[in-house]
Every structure is written in structure tokens, then in C-alpha cells.
Amino acid sequence: MLNEGEFHCSVFDDGVEVWITQLGELMNMNTAFIDRTNKIVAIIDPFDADSWISRLDKDGLVPTHLLYTHTHRDHVAGYPEMIQRFPNLEVWGHEHAKVPDLIDHFVFSKVEFTDTWDCDAGETVQWECGLIKLGITHSPGHAPGHVTIHGHGVYHAGDLLFVRSAGRVDLPGGDPQAQQMSLIRAKEILSSLPEEWRLIPGHKYDTVGDRIPDWISIGEVLTYNYFLANITIR
Ligand SMILES: [Fe+2]
């Protein structure tokens, strides 16, 4: 199990590295995809700039892309310092995650996206940079413009899914009906991926037996997640 600020680094079959860490009181899970050949480091929802930058620096790497699942403040906590230290970062999120009507609410924090995805709810688009190839799925319900990100052996669920549960829908911008559609779409995608791939939740909240796992295999999440287990795919 990861301790706070500890990094797990692995290399997928195609040479793309996947780094995962857990940071902060809410046990936010961050994932990064690294293509050393092309010096690309794409980090999902970096919680703490210092932790990421100092760990990457040990390997002679710097962040090049930030990919946001949504703009709740705990997910974008690392943004101000990241952009201050690396002003040329590409910053990606869904168009709807800009939330101009909600941004003053304390649950959200502002991110200046340099680029946005603008796909429909349930739609998956490809994001490619160097060797990194990711499926980005618009999955609203927990928050406007929420996306999940999958590729290179992982499905980063953001706050759509945790190991056994799903994201809350009672915050401003939450939408229970949209969430249910996003969960159905997630089950379709997860069912199409190799069962040994890992689901990385947005937070390390849930117990499985006597442990709180950092991640769970896709085969396991389809069995043990209360929400997914109750969805029938036609
Ligand atoms: Fe959230």
C-alpha cells in the first residue's frame, strides 16, 4: 500500500511508464503517463506540485501536460504552483469543467485550460502525445465536465468511481441522472478492457476485506463495486 507521497512506478508493455501516488488528507490518487523517448510527462489531477516536481526531477523529468478529471478544488490543488513553475504546460480538461456559474463556490477552483475536450456525455475521444494514447470519456454527474481517462494498463476513474462505491452527486453541479448514465458507460468501457488492468480511483476511500487498496483490477471492480455490479449491459 502506498504511503502519502510515495510513488509506484511501472512500465506498460508499450514502454509508457505509469506513475501513481497518493497525496493529501482526502487521499487523492494521482496518475501520470511518461514517455521518456519524447520527454512527455502527463499528470492527472496533481494534488501537490512540490511532490511531483521533486520526484520527477530525480529522473531528470519535468511535467509537460496536466489532464484534469474535473475542477473540484482538491483535484486542482496543485495547479497554481505547477503553472507558476512551468508556465508553458499544456492544461487539459473538458469544456464543461470551466463551470463559470459555479466557480465562486468553494467546492471548485479555477483552472485556465490551454486546451479542452468538448465531447458529449458518454462519448470517448482519443488524446495522443508521443507514445501516450489515452481514451477520454465525458462522464458528468459528480461534477460538470467530469472525464475518465484510460490507457496503458490503467483506467483513472476520477471521482466517478471508487473501489467499491461511486462519487457523490449532491454538490453544486451534481446530477444523479447523468451520473447513472456515466456509470453505465463506465461499465461498458471497463467490460471491454483487459481484466488485469488497474482501476485508479480519485480517492483511496474504500476497504476490501481488511485493507484499503490503492487500486483494484478491472476484473475485481466489476465484481465488487456496488454500483457497477447492479448495472446490466444490454
Ligand atoms: Fe470531486
What's the CA-to-centroid distance between 75 and ligand 1, angstroms?
7
What's the CA-to-centroid distance between 14 and ligand 1, angstroms?
31
What's the CA-to-centroid distance between 159 and ligand 1, angstroms?
5
Question: What residues does 18 pair with on adjacent strands?
Answer: 10, 33
What's the CA-to-centroid distance between 167 and ligand 1, angstroms?
7
Chain segment 72-99, per-residue pLDDT in tens = 999 999 999 999 999 999 999 999 999 9
Question: According to the model, what pLDDT value does residue 1 have?
Answer: 85
What's the CA-to-centroid distance between 76 and ligand 1, angstroms?
10
Boundaries of every domain in the chain: 7-229
Query: Is the pLDDT reported for residue 178 higher than 90?
Result: yes
Q: Which of 137, 117, 129 is nearest to 192 (CA)?
A: 137
Question: According to the model, what pLDDT value does residue 234 have?
Answer: 73
Chain segment 92-149, per-residue pLDDT in tens = 999 999 999 999 999 999 999 999 999 999 999 999 999 999 999 999 999 999 999 9
What's the CA-to-centroid distance between 52 and ligand 1, angstroms?
20
Q: What is the mean pLDDT of the chain?
A: 97
The pLDDT of 16-37, averaged and rounded, is: 97
CB-based contact 163:196 (threshold 8 Å)? no
Q: Show contacts of 220-224: CB within 8 Å, 24+ apart.
A: 221/161, 221/163, 221/190, 222/187, 222/190, 222/191, 222/195, 224/163, 224/164
Express as a percent the part of the chain with pLDDT over 70: 100
What's the CA-to-centroid distance between 142 and ligand 1, angstroms?
7
What's the CA-to-centroid distance between 146 and ligand 1, angstroms?
9
Number of C-beta neighbours around residue 116 at 10 A: 16
Residue 27's pLDDT band (cuts 50, 70, 90): very high
Question: According to the model, what pLDDT value does residue 209 have?
Answer: 86
Cα–Cα distance for residue pair 73/119, rounded to 1 Å: 23
Residue 154: φ, ψ to 5° = -135, 155
Question: According to the model, what pLDDT value does residue 149 have?
Answer: 98
Please state the pTM of the whole predicted model: 0.97
What's the CA-to-centroid distance between 38 and ligand 1, angstroms?
31
Instruction: Spell out the residues 6+ positions from residue 161 whose beta carbon is closer than 8 angstroms to its own.
Output: 148, 167, 183, 186, 199, 201, 221, 225, 227, 228
> Which CATH number describes the domain made up of 7-229?
3.60.15.10
What's the CA-to-centroid distance between 202 and ligand 1, angstroms?
8
What's the CA-to-centroid distance between 162 and ligand 1, angstroms?
11
What's the CA-to-centroid distance between 79 and ligand 1, angstroms?
15
Question: According to the model, what pLDDT value does residue 206 have?
Answer: 92
- Counting every residue, how long is the chain? 234
Cα–Cα distance for residue pair 41/67, rounded to 1 Å: 10
Query: Is the pLDDT reported for residue 233 higher than 90?
Result: no
What's the CA-to-centroid distance between 108 and ligand 1, angstroms?
9
The pLDDT of 61-78, averaged and rounded, is: 98
